[in-house]
Structure 1
Amino acid sequence: MYSPAQTLPSLVLEQILDFAVGSFPHEFTPEYACDCGPYMRVVPGLSLCRSWRDAALSKLYGEAWWCKVPNCSQCYTTECHSRKLPRGLPTAISTGNQYRVRKVSLHWKVEAILDGTAISAAKNSLLGKLVMPSVTSLDFYFCSDQLEVDLSEAKKMEHVKAFCSEIYQLFPSVQSYHLVKFDGYDELNDYPEVPAIDSLITGLTKHKTLVDFSCSAFVIVVPLPTDGRDLRYVSTTALEADQHTIELIRRSASTLECLTVQGGGPEVFAQLLHSEDGKPVVYTHVHSLEMSYTVYRSFREAHPTFASPTGVYFPSLRKLVSRIRYPFSNDVLFRGSEATLEYLDIPLLPRTVSDLQECGVFNANRFPALKYVSGKGDRVDDEMTRIQLTGSLLRFAANARVIKARENDCPFDLTGFAISEFGQNVTVLDIPPIRLTLMRTLQLIKVLPRLQQLRTGVEITDELRTTDQTHDSCVAECRPLWIQRHEGDPKYMEYGDPFHPDIEDDIVQRGLRPDAYECFYSSRFIFSDYFGEFILDHLSLVYADLGFVDELYSDFYPLSDSLAVLDCSHDREDSAVLLARSKIAVILLALCPSIQRIQTCWAIDFRYTKKAIPDDISIERQRIVESEQHQKLVAHLRSVAQQ
Structure 2
Amino acid sequence: MPMLSPFQALPLHIAEDIVHYLVGTHLSHYGLPSIQEGKQNTIWSALYYLSRFWRELVLMRICKTIILDISSNTSRSAFKFNHWPLSIKRPNFDISHYVRKVVIVSGHGSPDNSPLYLEPLPDVWPTSLVFPAARSLQIDMCYQSAIAKSYLQDFENKKLGWLAQCIQRSMPGLWEAEIGCSVRKYDHLNCAHTNYISSNVDALLSVVLSRAKKLDADIKSIQLTKNYPYFKDSPGLTSLEYRCYSNKDPIWYIINQNATTLVSLSVTHLHIRTFKNLVIDKKGNPIVYPRLEKLAFCCTSVSKLQNMTKTDDSVVLFPALKHLDCKSAYPFSDDSLFRGNYDTLEYLSLETDADFTNLVKNYRIFEQGKCAKLRHITTANLKNRNRLRLTPEEYIKFTLSLITPATRTVSVCSTKRKQRILRHLPANPYVKDIQILNLPYIRFAFPDIIKLIKLMPSLADLNCMYEGIGSEFKKVKSEDLPQHLHLLHYPLSNRFRSWRAELAWGSSMESIATMVMLLAILCPNFTFAATRPYAYECRFQEILKTAAATKPYAEHSKRIRRLFLNK
What TM-score comes out, normalization by structure 1 length? 0.63
1:218 maps to 2:221:
yes
Q: Deviations over 1:239-291 (max 9, x none)?
A: 86537433332222112222222355433212321122221100112222122
Out of 73, 85, 102, the position equivalent to 1:104 is: 102
Tell me what 1:392 maps to: 398
Tell me what 1:594 maps to: 525
Task: Answer whether contact 1:160 1:200 (CA < 8 A) is retained.
Answer: yes
Change (3 A) 1:7 1:591: farther
Task: Answer whether contact 1:254 1:284 (CA < 8 A) is retained.
Answer: yes
Tell me what 1:432 maps to: 440
Change (3 A) 1:126 1:563: farther
Tell me what 1:409 maps to: 416
Change (3 A) 1:600 1:372: same
Matched residue SS, 2:241: strand
| Aligned residue identity for 2:138 | D
What is the alpha-carbon distance in structure 2 between the residues aligned to residue 53 and residue 427 of structure 1? 46
What is the number of residues matched between the two proteins? 506
Change (3 A) 1:385 1:458: farther
Tell me what 1:271 maps to: 277
Shift of residue 388, structure 1, vs aligned partner: 2.4
Tell me what 2:347 maps to: 343
Tell me what 2:293 maps to: 287
Tell me what 1:323 maps to: 327
Match runs of 1:122-521 below 5 Å: 123=121, 130-145=129-144, 148-149=149-150, 159-171=159-171, 173-185=172-184, 186-187=190-191, 188-190=193-195, 194=199, 196-206=200-210, 208=211, 210=213, 212-221=215-224, 225-232=230-237, 233-238=239-244, 242=248, 244-263=250-269, 265-294=271-300, 297-298=301-302, 301=303, 305=306, 307-309=309-311, 310=313, 311-363=315-367, 365-378=369-382, 385-397=391-403, 399-414=406-421, 415-418=423-426, 421-423=429-431, 426-446=434-454, 451-458=459-466, 462-463=470-471
Task: Answer whether contact 1:464 1:583 (CA < 8 A) is retained.
Answer: no
Tell me what 1:574 maps to: 506
What is the alpha-carbon distance in structure 2 between the residues aligned to residue 561 and residue 67 of structure 1? 56
**Greater relative CO, 1 or 2 (CA 8 Å, sep 6+):** 1
Out of 480, 484, 490, the position equivalent to 1:557 is: 490
1:627 maps to 2:560:
no
Task: Answer whether contact 1:428 1:453 (CA < 8 A) is retained.
Answer: yes
Name stretches of at least 5 consecutive residues in structure 2 with no aligned partner.
1-5, 74-80, 111-117, 185-189, 560-567
Name stretches of at least 5 consecutive residues in structure 1 with no aligned partner.
25-30, 72-83, 113-119, 468-542, 605-612, 638-643
Tell me what 2:563 maps to: none
Shift of residue 158, structure 1, vs aligned partner: 6.5
Task: Answer whether contact 2:177 2:212 (CA < 8 A) is retained.
Answer: no
Q: Deviations over 1:351-375 (max 9, x none)?
A: 3344334433444742233333222
Tell me what 1:490 maps to: none
What TM-score comes out, normalization by structure 2 length? 0.70
Shift of residue 168, structure 1, vs aligned partner: 4.3
Matched residue SS, 1:584: helix
What is the alpha-carbon distance in structure 1 between the residues aligned to residue 143 and residue 426 of structure 2? 57
Name the structure with the higher strand share.
2
| Aligned residue identity for 1:408 | T
| Aligned residue identity for 1:410 | R
Change (3 A) 1:265 1:176: same
Change (3 A) 1:204 1:551: closer
Matched residue SS, 2:465: strand
RMSD of aligned residue pairs (Cα, Å): 5.2
What is the alpha-carbon distance in structure 2 between the residues aligned to residue 11 and residue 257 of structure 1? 35
Task: Answer whether contact 1:348 1:377 (CA < 8 A) is retained.
Answer: yes
Matched residue SS, 2:330: coil
Shift of residue 389, structure 1, vs aligned partner: 1.0
| Aligned residue identity for 1:556 | H
Return 334-343 or 397-406, whichever deviates more: 397-406
What is the alpha-carbon distance in structure 1 between the residues aligned to residue 305 and residue 289 of structure 2? 25
Return 455-464 or 269-278, whichever deviates more: 455-464
Shift of residue 588, structure 1, vs aligned partner: 0.7
What is the alpha-carbon distance in structure 2 between the residues aligned to residue 616 and residue 372 of structure 1? 31
Q: Deviations over 1:83-133 (max 9, x none)?
A: x95599xx9987997654322232224999xxxxxxx99626999765332
| Aligned residue identity for 1:391 | K
What is the alpha-carbon distance in structure 1 between the residues aligned to residue 98 and residue 244 of structure 2? 36
